[in-house]
């Protein structure tokens, strides 16, 4: 008899590294199987819309290539020869390897390394509890948000902005440096509502005519790393043509008179030569922006992924302070709302066990770290033990040449806890199978909106998979690490963390599904003052407050040519923008995502293709001082000549020479506080006559 009963629907939250953190409804077919995944209609930010890659999540959770059992490497590193072992044996071997190395080199020789493969607070951040209790090397979390966040904080002093749902009440939404259609689809939901309901305009500022730019009323196609110049020229016009709100600036800002004087020569003609835009395009945008009171800047991460990224972000954020658009509903600027949540993560992260004397290693420089760069290691020991959760540095970190050389070291013991056989998993000595978000309990916080959400376990763990919390607790016992968090369940940790942070407890949150933490209008719009001690927005940022390496940074918004500029040897500027069907390297195992993305390509303008003698579909060699690789060319005129785009992150195995595009991305730490400048790379491109498809 056919079972016609409707599947049970469970509430959850998207765990992936995306600002939207969508509220989900997941079909539970039975205790070991999920069905369709939809966006929750009654969550006012998600509004029933999620991206296609998460809508087909069953493909990922039930993928036949999921890692299901603990395994021990039995061949050469990376050879793919494994032996299935028990959990007890696996955890015993990891603990034994770590204890041996600690005894030889001291605790800092072990580096727990993680990032945002899941954004759940317990399963993502619990690794820090083990780190702190054991006094393992600290990790500076620079790979994603540092550059953008520093620039934002320099102006406003706090990581928050207006409620992003206000975009629907705006008359002009400026989507700057984020391909929202690919990376946070809900921005489009609210921006297009404004267009539909009130004929609002949508402007997109990006380095290529991507899916978001295709929806725009005006697309400003800028050269990579030149957004600061555009912002300056727009502000020049705002001041010159009477669209600057001097009364607002007098009350709410610091340094506006210096700014006005400084911008005298930052004309649209000046910026046109830098940005690749025409002066007319800059005037058109400046006038549209200046004449629209309810103008909402949605500032993304992409345009800050550059050596001059914080300066660009700060310059862009200045626009709202010049026009005073902060005063209006549907106006102001929004980058991230992480500052509204006041979490107490002492329990989850073991913050009560931190030893400030322990060294900190920069995660974006894992290549130099593992290859023994003294700039990073200082007087401390080499890293000889890695415990990796939620990230895939063999594909996503900068300077892959060094990363790969480091992982190949015979004296480096690597434990990887993963869902799939990633390039990093391939280099493990002990490989542990990890649950997906539907198989464990966790708690989520949205950066691009304002909800906290529960993500309770929906099905039992598949195979022998264990959660990150389970692995950390199991290792702690074997390593002699004591903290009460290791003896608690994930749900107990969620409950206590919610309570001590001043939010509804776990039972209430599970019942409600989510809690909206949005702050009041005046606070969100900084109408009680900005968050610096003088309560002003700073046009003249104090970069020393953002990071120690601030010498030489500009005192006012500017085009800061700290980037890897194109030169005769490297005539192209490369951006590694996110692909629609991947999220970093998550989803690169799912068949539909792979089918839709087809293969790694470099998008090249037809003029450039003609100049170098290549054509659509041909194989070219692309390189710089860090190395070179073969890739298919795609002729694409939706970018400026001189710019090339490689949408990613394709794992290395999909490239002809089995190494990914971040081979060419520098690990040089940008000022003032480090980061990963993924969109700031100068390259050469040559036809590869002998390469065959
Ligand atoms: S848009 Fe972002 S948060 Fe929403 S389902 Fe997709 S990846 Fe998850």
Pairing of strands 218-221, 8-13: unpaired
Ligand 1: which of 37, 184, 580 to mutate, judged by most atoms within 8 Å of the beta carbon?
184
3-state secondary structure of 475: helix
Centre a 10 Å sphere on the Cβ of residue 292 and count the other Cβ atoms it contains: 21
What are the backbone angles phi and psi of residue 23, rounded to the nearest 5°? -80, 130
Ligand 1 centroid–CA 7 distance in Å is 23
- In the block, tokens 């004449």 appear at 291
Write the pLDDT tens digit of every residue in 404-414: 999 999 999 99
- Spatial distance between the Cα atoms of 558 and 317, rounded to a whole number of angstroms: 13
Q: Give the CA distances from residue 298 to residues 188, 395, 538, 545, in Å, rounded to whole numbers and listed in that order.
A: 11, 29, 19, 24
Q: Is the CB of 142 under 6 A from ligand 1?
A: no
Q: How far apart are CA 684 and CA 507, in angstroms?
A: 57
Strands 218-221 and 201-206: parallel
Integer Cα distance of 238 and 241 in angstroms: 6
Note the pLDDT of residue 6: 86
Query: Could you give the CA distance from residue 481 to residue 596 in angstroms, rounded to a whole number?
Result: 46
* Tokens 């999921």, located at residue: 66
Q: What is the DSSP letter of 565?
A: -
Burial tier of 81 (Cβ tally within 10 Å: 0-12, 13-18, 19+): exposed
Is the per-residue pLDDT at 692 higher than 90?
Answer: no
> Are the beta carbons of 132 and 351 closer than 8 angstroms?
yes
Q: Which residue from 13, 19, 22 has its CB within 8 A of the most atoms of ligand 1, so it is best to mutate? A: 22
Other beta carbons within 10 angstroms of residue 480's beta carbon come to 10
Using the predicted structure, report yes or no on whether residue 4 has a pLDDT greater than 90.
no
**pLDDT digit string (tens) for 562-573?**
999 999 999 999
Contact predicate 468/390, CB 8 Å: yes
Phi-psi region of 175 (alpha: psi -120 to 50; beta: other; left: phi over 0): beta
pLDDT at 176: 98
Please state, as a whole number, how many other Cβ atoms lie within 10 Å of the Cβ of residue 355.
Answer: 10
Q: In angstroms, what is the span from residue 190 Cα to ligand 1's centroid?
A: 15
Q: Which single residue is written with the structure tokens 């992260």? A: 349
Ligand 1 atom at shortest distance from the alpha carbon of 39: 5
pLDDT at position 1 over 70: no
* Contact indicator for 114, 127 with CB cutoff of 8 Å: yes
For residue 224, name the pLDDT band (cuts at 50, 70, 90).
very high
Does residue 557 sit in helix, strand or coil? coil
Q: Residue 2's pLDDT is what?
A: 52
Residues 40/46, Cβ–Cβ less than 8 Å: yes
CA dihedral 346, 347, 348, 354 (to 10 degrees): 50
**What pLDDT is attached to residue 689?**
74
- Which ligand 1 atom sits nearest the alpha carbon of residue 55? 5
Q: Give the pLDDT confidence of 322-372 residue by residue, as tens digits.
A: 999 999 999 999 999 999 999 999 999 999 999 999 999 999 999 999 999
In the predicted model, what is the mean pLDDT of residues 534-552?
A: 98
| Ligand 1 binding pocket includes 20 (Cβ within 6 Å) | yes
In the reported structure, the alpha carbon of residue 18 is separated from the centroid of ligand 1 by a whole-number distance in angstroms of 6
User: Does any ligand 1 atom lie closer than 6 A to the CB of residue 21?
Assistant: yes
The tokens of 570 are what? Answer: 């490297």
Q: How far apart are CA 690 and CA 676, in angstroms?
A: 34
Residue owning tokens 């090249």: 604
The preferred substitution site among 185, 450, 579 for testing ligand 1, maximizing ligand atoms within 8 Å of CB, is: 185
Query: Among residues of the chain, what percentage have pLDDT more than 70?
Result: 99
Contact of 326 with 320, CB cutoff 8 Å: yes
Could you give the CA distance from residue 71 to residue 86 in angstroms, rounded to a whole number? 8
- Catalogue all structural domains in the chain, each as residue range(s) with its CATH number: 71-141+342-441+463-516 (3.40.50.740), 162-334+534-545 (3.40.228.10), 572-687 (2.40.40.20)
Is the shortest distance between the CB of 54 and ligand 1 below 6 Å? yes
**Chain centroid to CA 648:** 13
Question: Is this structure's pTM higher than 0.95?
Answer: yes
> For residues 84, 89, 90 and 95, what is the CA-based torsion angle, rounded to 10 degrees?
-160
**Cβ(536)–Cβ(157) under 8 Å?**
no
16 CB within 6 A, ligand 1:
yes
**Ligand 1 pocket, 286 CB below 6 A?**
no
| Start-to-end Cα distance in the chain | 51
**C-beta of 23 in contact with ligand 1 (< 6 A):** no
């Amino acid at each position: 008899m056919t079972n016609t009963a409707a599947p049970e629907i469970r509430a959850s939250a998207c765990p992936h590294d995306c600002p939207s953190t969508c509220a989900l409804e997941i079909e539970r077919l039975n205790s070991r199987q999920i069905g369709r995944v939809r966006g929750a209609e009654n969550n006012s930010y998600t509004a029933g819309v999620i991206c296609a890659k998460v809508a087909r999540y069953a493909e990922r959770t039930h993928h036949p290539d999921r890692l299901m059992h603990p395994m021990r490497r039995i061949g050469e590193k990376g050879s793919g020869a494994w032996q299935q072992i028990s959990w007890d044996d696996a955890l015993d071997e990891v603990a034994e390897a770590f204890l041996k190395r600690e005894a030889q080199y001291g605790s800092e020789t072990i580096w727990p390394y993680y990032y945002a493969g899941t954004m759940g607070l317990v399963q993502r951040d619990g690794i820090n509890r083990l780190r702190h209790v054991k006094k393992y090397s600290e990790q500076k979390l620079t790979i994603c948000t540092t550059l953008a966040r520093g620039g934002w904080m320099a102006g406003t002093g706090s990581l928050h902005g207006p409620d992003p749902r206000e975009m629907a009440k705006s008359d002009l939404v400026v989507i700057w440096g984020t391909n929202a259609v690919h990376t946070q689809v809900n921005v489009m939901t609210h921006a297009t509502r404004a267009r539909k309901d009130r004929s609002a305009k949508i402007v997109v500022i990006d380095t290529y005519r991507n899916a978001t730019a295709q929806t725009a009323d005006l697309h400003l196609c800028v050269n990579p790393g030149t957004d600061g110049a555009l912002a300056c020229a727009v502000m020049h016009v705002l001041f010159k043509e009477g669209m600057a709100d001097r009364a607002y600036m007098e009350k709410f800002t610091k340094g506006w008179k210096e700014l006005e004087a400084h911008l005298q020569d930052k004309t649209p003609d000046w910026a046109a030569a830098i940005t690749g835009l025409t002066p007319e395009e800059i005037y058109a945008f400046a006038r549209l922006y200046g004449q629209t009171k309810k103008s909402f800047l949605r500032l993304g991460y992409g345009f800050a992924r550059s050596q001059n990224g914080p300066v660009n972000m700060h310059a862009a954020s200045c626009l709202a302070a010049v026009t005073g658009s902060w005063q209006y509903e549907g106006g102001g600027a929004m980058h991230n709302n992480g500052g509204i949540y006041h979490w107490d993560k002492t329990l989850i992260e073991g913050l009560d066990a931190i030893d400030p004397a322990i060294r900190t290693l920069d995660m974006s420089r894992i290549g130099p770290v593992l290859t023994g760069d003294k700039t990073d290691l200082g007087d401390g020991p080499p890293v000889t033990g890695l415990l990796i959760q939620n990230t895939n540095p063999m594909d996503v970190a900068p300077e892959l040449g060094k990363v790969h050389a480091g992982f190949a070291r015979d004296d480096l013991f690597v434990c990887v806890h993963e869902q799939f056989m990633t390039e990093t998993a391939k280099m493990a000595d002990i490989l542990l199978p990890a649950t997906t978000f539907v198989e464990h309990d966790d708690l989520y916080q949205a950066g691009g909106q304002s909800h906290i959400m529960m993500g309770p376990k929906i099905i039992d763990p598949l195979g022998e998979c264990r959660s990150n919390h389970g692995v950390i607790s199991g290792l702690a016992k074997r390593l002699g690490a004591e903290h009460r968090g290791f003896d608690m369940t994930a749900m107990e940790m969620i409950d206590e963390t919610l309570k001590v942070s001043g939010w509804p407890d776990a039972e209430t949150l599970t019942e409600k599904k989510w809690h909206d933490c949005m702050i009041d209008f005046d606070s969100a719009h900084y109408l009680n003052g900005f968050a610096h001690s003088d309560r002003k927005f700073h046009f003249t940022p104090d970069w020393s407050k953002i990071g120690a390496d601030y010498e030489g940074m500009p005192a006012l918004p500017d085009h800061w040519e700290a980037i890897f500029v194109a030169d005769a040897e490297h005539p192209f500027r490369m951006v590694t923008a996110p692909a629609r069907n991947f999220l970093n390297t998550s989803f690169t195992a799912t068949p539909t995502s792979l089918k839709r993305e087809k293969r790694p390509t470099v998008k090249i303008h037809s003029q450039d293709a003609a100049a170098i003698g290549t054509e659509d579909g041909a194989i070219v060699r692309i390189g710089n001082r860090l190395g070179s690789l073969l890739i298919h060319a795609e002729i694409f005129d939706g970018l400026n000549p001189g710019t090339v785009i490689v949408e990613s992150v394709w794992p290395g195995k999909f490239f002809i020479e089995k190494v990914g595009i971040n081979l060419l991305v520098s690990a040089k730490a940008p000022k003032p506080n480090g980061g990963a400048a993924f969109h700031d790379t100068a390259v050469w491109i040559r036809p590869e006559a002998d390469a065959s498809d």
